[in-house]
A = this chain, B = another copy of it.
Amino acid sequence: MSVAIIGGGAVGLLFSYYFTKNVADTVVYVRRKEQAELLNRSGLKLYQEGTLREVKVLAKVLKEEGDIKADLVIVAVKQYDLRNLSEVLRNRVPRTAKLLFIQNGMSHIPFLETLPQGCIYVGIVDHGALKIAEHKVEHTGKGLMKLAAFRGNLEAVTPMLENLDQTRFPIEFKDDWYPLLAEKLLVNAVINPLTALYHVENGTLIENDYFLENMKNLFEEAFEALGLDDKAKRWEDVVSICRQTARNRSSMLRDIEMGQSTEIDAISGYLLQRSVSANLRMPYTRFVYNGIKGMSS
């Protein structure tokens, strides 16, 4: 079996480490030549709880290569970089390849619908991962990858994932892709923009009564727009994630502080699009969307 991983960010490197360790024929595709050269020359280093682990990887520059002949192609770029991959996935990846998409939010769904491949999967990861250098990633919090079939069936991909390290990189399979992505989106739609706007760690949102009220109002809007079930459970999830990651800085906060693109379009932007067709007013979501867009422009 052969695996291709597209993306040299924190999640791409994390996947590259665990797949290379367990699947001989793994290739990492990155955008920039410098990163590919560094990975090929120095290997990929993973830090976890003070321990350094290393693996030799094969990295290639995406735009310099021809066809990507892999059985499983894992797309681990940010949602806003997906559009650049349209031509690659359409023309350079076989229709028989299984595609697995690891993006936050849900605005990539319409894009997936346009692809020719017969087996498409979506996944989310709640691992903590921090890219330290172009060939170094820190696995800051052990989590879980959850995945579900978007097109085709799960049975076609499960054998490909059986060889992975189930202790350090466990996988859970879900029957239905919509709640999988929507529940993660709901959490992100509440925690990410607020922590970025207020420049606070995740835990501060629930420790501060004023922030908590805004959080609850944002949650209500997102919950309604997504049409999910069991509101009490969903709210508990949001609060407990804030508690479990209390001293973490959300990825959106880090993006804002570093002047980088954020995932706000895939998260709050997607909800606002849904609100138009559902004829919902979402003033809180609108406010944070505009705030984050403004702060990062």
- The chain A residues found within 8 Å of chain B, CB to CB, are 197-198, 208-211, 213-214, 217, 283-284, 286-291, 293-295, 297
Residue of B nearest to A288 (CB): B287
Number of copies: 2
Chain B residues within an 8 Å CB radius of A283 = 217, 283-284, 287
Among candidates B209, B214, B294, B295, residue contacting A291 with C-beta atoms closer than 8 Å: B214
Chain B residue nearest in CB terms to A194: B291
Query: Shortest CB–CB separation between residue A92 and chain B, in angstroms?
Result: 36
| Residues of chain B lying within 8 A (CB to CB) of residue A284 | 283, 287
B287 touches A210 (CB 8 A): no
Question: What is the CA–CA distance of A292 and B73 in the complex, to the nearest angstrom?
Answer: 46
Q: Shortest Cβ distance from A267 into chain B, in angstroms?
A: 15
| 21 A-B residue pairs with CB within 8 Å | A197-B197, A197-B291, A198-B291, A208-B294, A208-B297, A209-B294, A210-B289, A210-B293, A211-B291, A211-B294, A213-B290, A214-B287, A214-B290, A214-B294, A217-B283, A217-B286, A217-B287, A283-B284, A283-B287, A287-B287, A287-B288
With A210-B290, A211-B291, A213-B286 already in contact, 6 other A-B pairs whose C-beta atoms are closer than 8 Å: A197-B197, A208-B297, A214-B291, A217-B286, A284-B287, A287-B287
Pairs A-B, 3 closest by C-beta atoms: A210-B294, A283-B283, A210-B290
Cβ B197 vs Cβ A290 within 8 A: no
